[in-house]
Structure 1
Amino acid sequence: MSLYQEHLKTVTRRFNEALEANGFDSVLIFAGQPAVAFLDDNTYPYRVNPFFKYWVPVVESPKSFIFYKIGETPRVFLFQERDFWHTQPQVPSGDWQQMVDITLVDAIQPVRTALSGQLAKTAYIGESFAPLPEWGINNMNPQGLIDHLHFQRRLKTEYELSCMRKANIIAARGHNAAKAAFDNKASELEIHHAYLAATQCHQAQLPYNSIVALNQNGAVLHYDKYDTLAPAEHRSFLIDAGALYNGYCADITRTYSASSSGFYAELVEAMDQAERDIISEIEVGRSYYDLHVAMHHKIAGLLSQFGFLKIDAATIYERGYTNAFFPHGLGHFIGLQVHDVAGYLKNAQGESYTRDARHAFLRLRSDIEIGQVFTIEPGLYVVDQLLEEYAGNEDFNWQRIAELRPFGGVRVEDSVHVTKNGVENITRDAFASLK
């Protein structure tokens, strides 16, 4: 069987289990539709419902539906509007079409007609739309079902892994082009355009707004302003940018120094090594939370090693100083969504881990299992807003911190797959394949 056929078998089994556990016999999944801006007739970029692309590799066909009843073949209602204003979404080819029943519709009403009398025990997953209240569906996005399905999604199928590997190759190609543009002293906007050209995407086809930050802008964690003019001096470059393949995500961050020497270039190399070191510590059964804390200790070591603080690494962590320089989590699940689901779920019944006040922004707390894919993305930045509470603290080497401020910071991010034989670094393998 093909990877997709095996994947569909797994998805079907997971839905059977989740539906039966929550008292349903079927599910209706709406792909979603573009939202119209307030007081306007233009729409926001469309994002497909993740559960829709979980079943079929269709990401650009809004107003479509999937209906699955336990024991029956999934029915896919693909919306093809009669419209001369816009290009019709292309239905991707592939063996997936032989595994489902496809019906083309040019309005929503035929879907309701086709499913008449079959929705009494149906769960609906998706955003609301105008006629939905008339359909007689009383179970919109039931939390128990959603939790069950999310918990199942923490383990990836071979098809999903294949899609993520391909997405990483696309993104790595874009990263290489962006690095070349940085070396040529381009502006942030020009670098972003180089990334789009290399990935052959437009902005709305990326999984998230790319972070393309030169110099001090690298300290803004979700920076996406894209200055149109190149700075007088190129000191540093932080890029956090991804790609999609069949709706599955890549999420890659790299940081570069304009100079091959000096403390900042050494810091970039040290962070890259620290990221690889923490990946080598991944073990099945270990808590991702413990891995995150271990990374904080490594960050404390860098803060001491590079003289940003005047005290030893153990004391730096004990006093909570690492949070001012490394405020975000070590990483997150990734797959159908960039920040994929189930990071805090303990089981399919929806029981969750408690958030730690010190590490409140960590998106993943569960134990590490074979089949998981998650990111590892440590960082170290000069964020003045976070440093304000330590003003005048003599543990801090403020002169040394001031030397880092014009460079912004440094972050490195890979996606890794946990296997029975160790860890597959999907991202670094993608870069290696392009050499």
Structure 2
Amino acid sequence: MPNLTLHHQSNNMFSAQTYTDRRQKLAEAITEGLILLPGNGEAAMNYTGNTYPFKQDSNFRYFAGHNRPDLVLTVDAKSGESYLYGDDPTLDDIVWMGEQPLVKELAERIGARHGGRLDQLEPALSRATTVHFLPPYREERRRQLRAWFGTDRSPSKALIRAVVELRAVKSEEEIAEMNAAVRTSLQMHEAAHRNLQAGMTEAEVAGLIEGLAISAGGRLAYPAIVSRDGHILHNHHHSNTLRDGDLLLIDAGAESPSGYAGDITRTFPVSGELTDKQRAVYDIVDRAKTEAIAALAPGKPYREIHDASARTIAAGLKELGLMKGDPAAAVEAGAHALFYPHGLGHLIGLDVHDMEDLGEDVVGYDDEFRRSTLFGTRNLRLGRRLRENMVVTVEPGIYFIPFLTDRWREGGKHTDFINYDALAAYRDFGGIRLEDDVVVGAAGARVLG
């Protein structure tokens, strides 16, 4: 059942040459065999005809552009020739959803050839001596791969590496799309701040910001986090009523019509003014964010920037009397993770956590930088050296998590660095996180939006 919005999708795509160039670079990296890039299909919400909002596979969209379900792209790695497969709309499709372009027209728009119907794809696969495909993340894709090949096969490591290499660095036209997504994201946060008042529910704020994302021609890039319980890192329920004195943490980003994501976090006082205690913690987080953005540079390991942000947070908490000892030693031991149990950020692009369907360690780490095994630091998704025109999130935070504090205190954990007695006054504080999306540049970082 075709998606209603697809008839106008051509305005949200790059030129045919852009997609042709991307596929040519991919073919040159693989050199032999057939590259198979299936798009996503519709996902039924509660019956076949009632589907979730369609989300195209980002790897397919990067190389084929189209935001239409049930398409498959193949690329001959030797010749670079590309073929687009799919079924044309039926009469019933047109009656219910309006006229849609034929697959042949879709192929022409991206500089590819028309391969034929979907049932004509399997013979083409059987003729190939080697077929390269990426790891499936939907069960429907796994079943389809088994049907095509008659058995389970392993994803292509060479294709994974090639795709990560191409997508990790953004072109100027991609950055322009991401800037548009971030501008909408900031408008969402500004509207929430402007309308925020005691007595509102989290759900009212969540509805306001999601409506703005849809009004801009896209949708949310990920389920919005709108929570006065900011110490719960990915809290998606919106049932609380906001009170004076509460902090409201909003982690929400819009997706542009072209599919590129924004990812912004702000923390607002419901009463309009931060208390002195809240301001002191907020300023530490803001300082960690500002310093991290200033440190972004090609060739700089993101792991080093993360560790520096953790030292800034540990030093700030020491000034408040909540930590003690040497901040650098505290970070090396992992004591800061009681307050900062996640990484500084991640790559962002067509996915809000860009390409993580290909494997977090493949995308964010390499032979030079391995993932830490320490609690907290092991959640850092990006540790490798940065490259010019990578786009990353920078999102430090400080959280007071009662369960974690109790568990560590009972176990006598990091008593040389943590002043547990002083934490009693912060038990109901919640959490503060601040986040921007930033382009890594040779002449300095550029904050999007």
Displacement of 1:35 in angstroms is 4.6
2:252 to 241, 246, 259: 241
Q: 1:433 is matched with which residue?
A: none
Q: Which amino acid aligns with 1:54?
A: Y
| Structure 2 CA distance for partners of 1:168 and 1:237, relative to 1, 3 Å | same
Displacement of 1:10 in angstroms is 4.1
- Equivalent-residue separation in structure 1 for 2:24 and 2:284 (angstroms): 45
SS in 2 for 1:338: coil
Displacement of 1:324 in angstroms is 0.9
Displacement of 1:376 in angstroms is 1.0
- Equivalent-residue separation in structure 1 for 2:151 and 2:114 (angstroms): 21
TM-score (norm 1): 0.82
Q: Does 1:379 align with 2:397?
A: yes
- Equivalent-residue separation in structure 2 for 1:144 and 1:367 (angstroms): 21
Q: Which amino acid aligns with 1:330?
A: L
Q: 1:30 is matched with which residue?
A: 38
134-143 vs 312-321, which moves further: 134-143
- Equivalent-residue separation in structure 1 for 2:23 and 2:336 (angstroms): 44
| Structure 2 CA distance for partners of 1:305 and 1:344, relative to 1, 3 Å | same
Displacement of 1:256 in angstroms is 1.6
SS in 1 for 2:378: coil
Displacement of 1:38 in angstroms is 9.9
Report Cα offsets for 1:311-357 as digits up to 9, x if no partner: 45345435432011111111111112222237644999x75742211
- Equivalent-residue separation in structure 2 for 1:173 and 1:118 (angstroms): 51
- Equivalent-residue separation in structure 1 for 2:243 and 2:274 (angstroms): 19
Q: 1:221 is matched with which residue?
A: 233
CA contact (8 A) 2:182 2:253 kept: yes
Identity %: 24
Q: 2:409 is matched with which residue?
A: 390
- Equivalent-residue separation in structure 1 for 2:398 and 2:372 (angstroms): 20
Counterpart mapping for 1:261-410 below 5 A: 261-311=275-325, 313-341=327-355, 344-345=361-362, 351=367, 353-358=369-374, 359-387=377-405, 388-391=407-410, 393=415, 396-398=418-420, 400-410=422-432
SS in 2 for 1:152: helix
CA contact (8 A) 2:335 2:418 kept: no
Q: Does 1:74 align with 2:90?
A: no
Q: Which amino acid aligns with 2:251?
A: D
Q: 1:123 is matched with which residue?
A: 132
| Structure 2 CA distance for partners of 1:95 and 1:278, relative to 1, 3 Å | farther
Q: Does 1:54 align with 2:62?
A: yes
Displacement of 1:424 in angstroms is 1.1
- Equivalent-residue separation in structure 2 for 1:394 and 1:137 (angstroms): 56
268-277 vs 334-343, which moves further: 334-343
CA contact (8 A) 2:35 2:131 kept: yes
Q: 1:109 is matched with which residue?
A: 119
| Structure 2 CA distance for partners of 1:396 and 1:58, relative to 1, 3 Å | same
- Equivalent-residue separation in structure 2 for 1:371 and 1:274 (angstroms): 22
Q: 1:16 is matched with which residue?
A: 27
CA contact (8 A) 2:221 2:352 kept: yes
Higher normalized helix content (fraction of residues): 2
Q: Does 1:425 align with 2:425?
A: no
Bigger relative contact order, structure 1 or 2, given CA contacts below 8 A and separation 6+? 1
SS in 1 for 2:263: strand
- Equivalent-residue separation in structure 2 for 1:347 and 1:318 (angstroms): 21
Displacement of 1:241 in angstroms is 0.8
User: Where do 5+ consecutive residues of structure 1 fail to align?
Assistant: 431-435
Q: Which amino acid aligns with 2:173?
A: Y
- Equivalent-residue separation in structure 1 for 2:421 and 2:352 (angstroms): 37
Q: Which amino acid aligns with 1:230?
A: T
SS in 1 for 2:428: helix
Displacement of 1:406 in angstroms is 2.7
231-240 vs 393-402, which moves further: 393-402
Displacement of 1:48 in angstroms is 2.2
CA contact (8 A) 1:346 1:352 kept: no
| Structure 2 CA distance for partners of 1:407 and 1:384, relative to 1, 3 Å | closer
SS in 2 for 1:231: coil
Q: 2:172 is matched with which residue?
A: 158
Displacement of 1:145 in angstroms is 1.8
- Equivalent-residue separation in structure 2 for 1:412 and 1:301 (angstroms): 18
CA RMSD, Structure 1 to Structure 2 (Å): 3.7
TM-score (norm 2): 0.79
Q: Which amino acid aligns with 1:379?
A: G
Alignment size in residue pairs: 414
- Equivalent-residue separation in structure 1 for 2:153 and 2:28 (angstroms): 17
Q: 2:265 is matched with which residue?
A: 253
Displacement of 1:177 in angstroms is 1.7
- Equivalent-residue separation in structure 1 for 2:262 and 2:250 (angstroms): 13
CA contact (8 A) 2:325 2:416 kept: no
SS in 2 for 1:28: strand
Displacement of 1:121 in angstroms is 3.8
Q: Does 1:195 align with 2:217?
A: no
Report Cα offsets for 1:106-147 as digits up to 9, x if no partner: x6325447x477544442445234486346799663222212
User: Where do 5+ consecutive residues of structure 2 fail to align?
Assistant: 1-12
SS in 1 for 2:196: helix
| Structure 2 CA distance for partners of 1:389 and 1:54, relative to 1, 3 Å | same
